[in-house]
Structure 1
Amino acid sequence: MQTQEHPDTYETDTRSGGAGRRLLWLLVALAVLAALAFIKIKYFPAQTPEAKGGGSKGGASGAGKGGAPGGKGGGQKQPVQVYVVQATNLADEVAATGSILAEESVVIKSEISGKITSLSIREGQPVRKGQLLLSINADELQSNLRKQEYNIKLFRDQERRQRTLLDKEYISAQEYEQANNQLLTAQADLQTLRASLAKAYVRAPFDGVLGLTTATVGTYVSPGAEITTLSKVKPVKIEFTVPSRFSSLVRTGDPISITDEASNKKYEARVYALDPQIDPVSRTQTVRARYANARNELRPGAFVKVNLQLSQTADALQVPTEAVIPEATGYSVYTVQKGKMVPKKVKIGVRSDRLIQITDGLAVGDSVIRTGILQVKPGDAVKVTK
């Protein structure tokens, strides 16, 4: 038996489902509107007439009686510090980094092979020019030298007899020349042996200070073997480079100031030589100065900072580095005129870590803003503080 659903019941259910969906959409719409209202109130509050600049009469009268001082808008004056431009002496200097070099430096090497028979190297101690440093076994050379001296005595006697016979015309001139040539050749060989024997005794080529060594008596050395170093450290050289645009301004005799990185002490030296060529890679010129170094203050190999003075200007205009604002088209500064900020375009010259030279755009007595630059705009009222 089939049961037939009543049509009134089906229609009632359909109406209930549609009403539920409409209620759901209504709740979603209300939630969205509430969220938008919250965002508007939280992040975009409405401005009052007073905040907008005194749009109402009460706001206008309040500004006149007890409002904040300032211009028509009622804004406060921005406190700033200024630098009054004055004419000063300016030394045009080039800052560079340099290295200390020994006045003379050489690696002591052996020119012949053999065992060291005596060693007079005192590490780190000064030596005089010509002082014996070490000797190498030269017994064989000395034996050959004595042998050659005996040969020369024999050849000299033969040459003397041949000359007597030539004077009496008992021999030809050719026979005498052969004997004389034999004597001369033996004398040349003797000089060669003496030169070789001198290489067995290594002496200091100049006054200086010896370096460290690992050689000892009995060490076998070969030609070219490094034994120690010798450096002349009084005076010392300072080598540094300057940009090629300054090469025409550097002269021998120019004073330089050097600062030792280790001790932070300053010393005065003078330029004595310039490389005649510009480095094609770095576009710099190498310069060398000399310092007496009487107390061994500077050591070869040390790193130093160099300041080279090129020229001096008596009436230069300078401002603090923080007052100059770099722009896409150049540089500008903010000045104070009649209590307001006025920007000015300027051209710069020599600069240091604290000051920048102004070559155009400012005059003596101008007040340049050095603090609060980011908080002011052209035309803003400012208050100069100490």
Structure 2
Amino acid sequence: MKLRYIIFTLIGVGLVALIGYRIIDNKDKTQGNQAGPPPAIKVVGQVLQPVAFEDNLSLSGSLEANEQIELRSEVSGIIENINFTEGSKVSKGQILFRVNDQEMRAQLAKVQTSQTLASENERRARLLLEKEAISQEEYDMAQADFQSSKAESQLIQAQLGKATVRAPFSGVIGLRYVSQGTYVTPASPIATLVNTDKLKITFSIPEKYASQVRINDKITFTTSNSREEHEATIYATEPGVDLSTRTLKMRAIADNKDGKLIPGTFANVFLPLSVVEDALMVPTESLIPIQNGKKIFISENGKAKEVIVETGARTESSIRVISGLKAGDTILTSGIMVLRNGTPLNIDLRQPLAKTQL
């Protein structure tokens, strides 16, 4: 019995000693960790150097025909002749189609007969007035009848002229919506006539750039179906800023003699503003969005430092920093999401941006 008691006592003492040893060992390790410096975070960085940068605005726009109308007849009637082929070029003044005008011609003949009679009555009344055989009032009535007949004749002649529709300008005529023999009214569309020798590009710029753009400034643009660059000249702007979008609408014109550009196409517009010789450009991945702007981490004395920056124009891979940084700063571009102010750094420096045009 005594032996068993001694064995249990030894085992209990051993367990207590083991637990005490573990507690003391863990405490020593914790104190050791608190006393030592935190490990350095491995990041990628580069030394910031000024570069030449073309400050361009990249905008969205649309191409419009220089002139475009929907052809209609000003008078109602049956289409007698169609003198154009769909998709063909037509010249200014060319007859495009005729509306049957037999009824109007008959009306004109009737009115012209009345006009002849009224003219003769006016002549006779004038002779009688000279002989004082009739009163001035009777002559005035005869003259009014003649003038009324003359005006009615001119009205019908004008209506007859509208029965023949001519091209108001040279261009390409589109698909027609009627056939010969169709009864049309002024509300009936016949076809579309488009002048594409020149095309208009309509686009809008943010109001803060409005003072930097002038009439006759050049722009370049590409279309959604081609990477070929085209040039256009700004020729008109709206007189005021759109209050809903805070943008100013502008319009430029481009030559299209080769017919490569199609009205209605989406356009990517590039508007040059200025050339900055000493711009500070940082990679887009180095910027961290915050509530009131953007921030970037730089290395200062081997530790991370948070800097609030103001940005400007951007390219596909970099953004211009307007304030907050200076040439020679080491900016951090990778591994930055875990950084805090004062974090020790292990920097892998990469080649800085060359001083060339971006």
TM over 0.5: yes
Match of 2:50 in 1: 86
- 1:303-382 correspondence runs (5 A): 303-337=266-300, 339-374=302-337, 378-382=342-346
Partner SS, residue 370 of structure 1: strand
The 8 Å contact of residues 88 and 318 in structure 1, kept in 2 or not, is answered as no
Partner SS, residue 227 of structure 2: coil
In the alignment, does 2:302 pair up with 1:302?
no
The 8 Å contact of residues 43 and 333 in structure 2, kept in 1 or not, is answered as no
Give the one of 265, 272, 281 matched to 2:228: 265
Match of 1:115 in 2: 78
Partner SS, residue 373 of structure 1: coil
Partner SS, residue 102 of structure 1: strand
The 8 Å contact of residues 252 and 272 in structure 1, kept in 2 or not, is answered as yes
Structure 1: tracts of 5 or more residues without a match: 1-45, 56-71
More strand by share: 2
Report the Cα offset of residue 73 of structure 1.
5.2
Q: CA 1:254/1:135 → structure 2, altered by over 3 Å: closer, same or farther?
A: same
Structure with larger RCO (C-alpha < 8 A, sep 6+): 2
In the aligned structure 2, how far is the partner of 1:240 from the partner of 1:77?
47
Give the one of 59, 68, 80 matched to 1:96: 59
Match of 2:124 in 1: 161
The 8 Å contact of residues 330 and 347 in structure 1, kept in 2 or not, is answered as yes
Partner SS, residue 100 of structure 1: strand
Give the one of 182, 185, 190 matched to 1:227: 190
Give the one of 167, 171, 178 matched to 1:204: 167
Q: Which residue identity does 1:102 align to in structure 2?
A: A
Identity %: 34
Match of 1:30 in 2: none
Match of 1:178 in 2: 141
Q: Which residue identity does 1:331 align to in structure 2?
A: K
Partner SS, residue 226 of structure 2: coil
Match of 2:7 in 1: none
- 1:47-58 correspondence runs (5 A): none
Q: Which residue identity does 2:348 align to in structure 1?
A: V
In the aligned structure 2, how far is the partner of 1:229 from the partner of 1:329?
52
In the aligned structure 1, how far is the partner of 2:292 from the partner of 2:89?
61
Greater C-alpha Rg: 1
In the aligned structure 2, how far is the partner of 1:311 from the partner of 1:86?
16
Match of 1:384 in 2: 348
Match of 1:127 in 2: 90
In the aligned structure 2, how far is the partner of 1:83 from the partner of 1:285?
39
Q: CA 1:309/1:341 → structure 2, altered by over 3 Å: closer, same or farther?
A: same
Report the Cα offset of residue 130 of structure 1.
1.3
- CA-to-partner distance for each residue in 1:278-302, whole Å, 9 max, x for gaps? 3333333322111111212221111
Report the Cα offset of residue 74 of structure 1.
9.4
Q: Which residue identity does 2:61 align to in structure 1?
A: G
Match of 1:60 in 2: none
TM-score by length of 1: 0.75
Give the one of 127, 139, 142 matched to 2:102: 139
In the aligned structure 2, how far is the partner of 1:329 from the partner of 1:243?
20
Report the Cα offset of residue 96 of structure 1.
2.3
In the alignment, does 2:194 pair up with 1:243?
no
| RMSD, matched Cα | 2.8
TM-score by length of 2: 0.80
In the aligned structure 1, how far is the partner of 2:265 from the partner of 2:170?
21
Partner SS, residue 282 of structure 1: coil
The 8 Å contact of residues 54 and 272 in structure 2, kept in 1 or not, is answered as no
Structure 2: tracts of 5 or more residues without a match: 1-25, 351-358
Match of 1:16 in 2: none
Report the Cα offset of residue 231 of structure 1.
1.1
Partner SS, residue 265 of structure 1: strand
Aligned residues: 324
In the aligned structure 2, how far is the partner of 1:347 from the partner of 1:229?
50
Match of 2:158 in 1: 195
- CA-to-partner distance for each residue in 1:133-167, whole Å, 9 max, x for gaps? 11111111111212222222222222222222222
Report the Cα offset of residue 248 of structure 1.
3.7
Partner SS, residue 300 of structure 1: coil
Partner SS, residue 264 of structure 1: strand
Q: Which residue identity does 1:216 align to in structure 2?
A: S
The 8 Å contact of residues 48 and 280 in structure 2, kept in 1 or not, is answered as no
* Greater shift in the superposed pair: 340-349 or 220-229: 340-349
In the aligned structure 2, how far is the partner of 1:182 from the partner of 1:328?
84
The 8 Å contact of residues 235 and 252 in structure 2, kept in 1 or not, is answered as yes
In the aligned structure 1, how far is the partner of 2:193 from the partner of 2:268?
26
The 8 Å contact of residues 85 and 319 in structure 1, kept in 2 or not, is answered as no
Report the Cα offset of residue 83 of structure 1.
4.5
